[in-house]
C-alpha cells in the first residue's frame, strides 16, 4: 500500500478522516513506480523484473539533488535549488 | 553496550516486504545501470556509523539516534495492524506522521542536500569576503586557491538539521489530506532509499521539480508503506 497526501483532498479528509481506496489499474501503479524510481537517490528496491530494469536504465545517474551554486553570484543568500541530475560528490570529511 | 556499526537509513523491517523466497531483495543501483544486486535487507540501505555523533568528552555516541529511530519504528507495526482493520484514529496518525517525517529526514538524499548547501554557503561567503578585500591576499602562485578549494562539512551538521527539517515537514503534512491506496493490480510496488516524495501536481512527470509546490501551494505526496 501507499500513503498519498494531497492538499486538494484536505477538506474531504477534515470532514471524513483517513481516506482509503484500492486500484487495480496497472497503469496507475506503473506511474507511481516511475515516480519512486525517479526520486530514488542511490538505489531502488523491488522484485526482479524487466520493467524495474528498464526504470533503472532510464533513471541511471539521475537523482534528486541540489544545483551547484555559482559562488561568484551576487545573491545574498545561498538558497538550495532542488533539481534532478547526477548526484553531486561531497568532499570527504576527515574530522570528528 | 556494543556499538552498532551498520546504521540503516532504510530500516531492515521495511525492506523485508520486498524480499523473495531467498529472503533477499533486488537492489537497482543508479550509479551503475548494469548492476542489480541481490542482497539480504541487512546488507543494503546502510552506511557505517551514519548517525554517530560527537559527544562532549571527545568520544562518539554510536547508538543514541539509532535507538530513537527504533522506538518510532516499533510503533509502526501497530499502525499497520490498525490501518488494515480501518481503525486509523488521531493516535495512529501521529505514528504515521512521525514515521514519514523520519524517513524523509534520515536518508542520504536529504542529509547530502543539507551538507552540499552548507558547503556552497561557506564557499560563497569566502569568495565574497575575498572580493571585498576582507581576506589576506593569497600567496604568489596560489591566486585561485579560494575558488578551487573544496569545502567539507561535518556530517554532524546534517544530523543537527534533521529535527528542524522534520518540524518544517510536519507543517507540510498538516496541509494534506491523507489516505491509503491499496494495490490490487498484480504489479508489485517498488520502493527506494528516498521513499518520501512530493511535488507540484500541476507538473507533468517530465517537468517535475523535486519537493516543489504549485503557485497556489498545492502538493501531492507519496510514501510507500511497508506491507501490502
pLDDT digits over B160-172, tens only?
A: 999 999 999 999 9
What CA dihedral angle connects B26, B166, B201 and B108, to 10 degrees? -30
- What secondary structure letter does DSSP report for A86? S
User: Which helix (DSSP H) or strand (DSSP E) does residue A42 occupy?
Assistant: none
Task: Tell if the CB–CB gap between A59 and B30 is shorter than 8 Å.
Answer: yes
Question: Does residue A66 fall inside a structural domain?
Answer: yes
CB atoms within 10 A of CB A50: 7
Question: Coil, strand, or helix at residue A82?
Answer: strand
Q: Mean pLDDT of all residues in chain B?
A: 90
Across A8-12, B72-76, B207-211, least confident range = B72-76
Yes or no: say if B201 and A31 are a contact pair by the CB < 8 Å rule.
no
Cα B109 from Cα B30, distance rounded (Å): 13
Partner-chain residue, chosen from B151, B190, B201, that has the shortest CB–CB distance to A36: B190
The residue extents of the domains of chain B are 6-223
- Give the angle subtended at the CA of B54 by the CAs of B53 and B55, to the nearest 5°: 115
Question: Does residue A31 fall inside a structural domain?
Answer: yes
Q: Over the stretch B105-161, which tens digit does the pLDDT of each residue have?
A: 999 999 999 999 999 999 999 988 998 999 998 899 998 888 888 999 999 999 999
Chain A nearest CA to B97, separation (Å): 11
Question: Does residue A42 fall inside a structural domain?
Answer: yes
Q: Over the stretch A34-88, which tens digit does the pLDDT of each residue have?
A: 999 999 999 999 999 999 999 999 999 899 999 998 877 877 788 899 999 999 9
- What secondary structure letter does DSSP report for A18? S
- What secondary structure letter does DSSP report for A55? H
Question: Which residue in chain B is spatially nearest to A16 when comparing CA positions?
Answer: B177
Cα B126 from Cα B144, distance rounded (Å): 12
ipTM above 0.90, yes or no: yes
Question: Does residue A57 fall inside a structural domain?
Answer: yes
Mutate which: B48, B146, B190, B217, vs A, most A CBs within 10 A: B190
**Chain B contacts in chain A segment 31-90 (CB below 8 A):** 31-49, 51-53, 55-57, 59-66, 68-69, 71-73, 75, 78, 80, 82-84, 87-88, 90
What is the grid cell recorded at B178? 491523507
Question: Does residue A41 fall inside a structural domain?
Answer: yes
Question: Does residue A48 fall inside a structural domain?
Answer: yes
pLDDT score of B214 more than 60: yes
Yes or no: say if B37 and B26 are a contact pair by the CB < 8 Å rule.
yes
Question: Does residue A67 fall inside a structural domain?
Answer: yes
Task: Specify the number of domains making up chain A.
Answer: 1
Residue B75: per-residue pLDDT: 82
Judge whether B152 is closer than 8 Å to chain A, CB to CB. yes
What CA dihedral angle connects A93, A95, B5 and B11, to 10 degrees? -50
Task: Tell if the CB–CB gap between A56 and B29 is shorter than 8 Å.
Answer: yes
Q: Per-residue DSSP letters for chain B?
A: -PPP-EEESS-HHHHHTT--TTS-EEEEESS-TT-EEEE-GGGSSEEETTT-EE-TTS-EESSHHHHHHHHHHHHHHHHHHHHHTT---HHHHHHHHHHHHHHHHSSHHHHHHHHHHHHHHHHHHHHHHHHTT-SPPPPTT-TTHHHHPPP---HHHHHHHHHHHHHHHHHHHTTSEEEEEEE-SSSPP-EESS-EEEE-TTS-GGGPPTT---TT---EEEEE-S--
- Residue B53 pairs in a beta bridge with B61
The boundaries of the domain holding residue A65 are 23-85
Question: Does residue A17 fall inside a structural domain?
Answer: no
Amino acid at each position: 500500500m501507499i500513503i498519498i497526501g494531497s492538499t486538494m483532498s484536505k477538506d474531504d479528509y477534515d470532514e471524513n478522516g483517513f481516506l482509503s481506496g484500492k486500484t487495480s489499474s496497472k497503469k496507475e501503479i506503473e506511474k507511481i513506480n516511475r515516480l519512486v524510481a525517479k526520486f530514488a537517490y542511490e538505489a531502488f528496491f523491488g522484485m526482479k523484473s524487466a520493467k524495474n530494469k528498464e526504470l533503472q536504465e532510464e533513471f541511471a545517474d539521475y537523482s534528486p539533488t541540489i544545483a551547484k551554486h555559482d559562488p561568484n553570484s551576487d545573491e545574498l543568500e545561498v538558497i538550495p535549488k532542488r533539481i534532478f541530475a547526477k548526484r553531486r560528490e561531497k568532499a570527504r570529511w576527515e574530522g570528528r | 553496550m556494543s556499538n552498532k556499526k551498520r546504521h540503516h537509513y532504510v530500516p531492515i523491517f521495511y525492506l523485508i516486504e520486498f524480499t523473495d523466497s531467498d529472503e533477499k531483495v533486488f537492489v537497482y543501483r543508479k550509479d551503475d545501470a548494469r548492476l542489480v544486486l541481490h542482497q539480504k535487507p541487512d546488507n543494503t540501505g546502510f552506511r557505517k556509523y551514519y548517525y554517530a555523533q560527537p559527544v562532549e568528552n571527545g568520544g562518539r555516541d554510536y547508538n543514541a539516534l539509532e535507538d530513537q529511530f527504533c522506538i518510532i519504528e516499533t510503533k509502526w507495526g501497530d499502525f499497520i495492524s490498525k490501518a488494515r482493520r480501518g481503525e486509523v484514529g488521531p493516535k495512529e496518525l501521529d505514528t504515521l506522521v512521525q514515521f514519514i517525517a523520519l524517513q524523509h529526514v534520515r536518508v542520504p538524499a536529504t542529509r547530502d542536500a543539507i551538507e552540499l548547501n552548507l558547503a556552497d554557503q561557506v564557499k560563497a561567503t569566502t569568495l565574497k569576503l575575498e572580493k571585498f578585500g576582507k581576506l589576506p591576499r593569497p600567496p604568489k602562485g596560489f591566486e585561485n586557491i579560494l575558488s578551487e578549494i573544496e569545502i567539507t562539512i561535518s556530517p554532524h551538521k546534517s544530523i543537527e538539521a534533521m529535527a528542524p527539517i522534520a518540524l518544517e515537514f510536519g507543517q507540510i503534512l498538516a496541509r494534506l489530506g491523507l489516505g491509503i491506496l491499496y494495490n490490487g493490480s498484480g504489479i508489485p510496488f517498488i520502493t527506494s532509499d528516498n521513499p518520501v516524495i512530493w511535488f507540484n501536481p500541476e507538473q507533468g512527470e517530465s517537468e517535475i521539480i523535486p519537493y516543489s509546490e504549485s503557485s497556489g501551494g498545492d502538493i501531492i505526496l507519496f510514501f510507500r508503506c511497508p506491507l501490502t
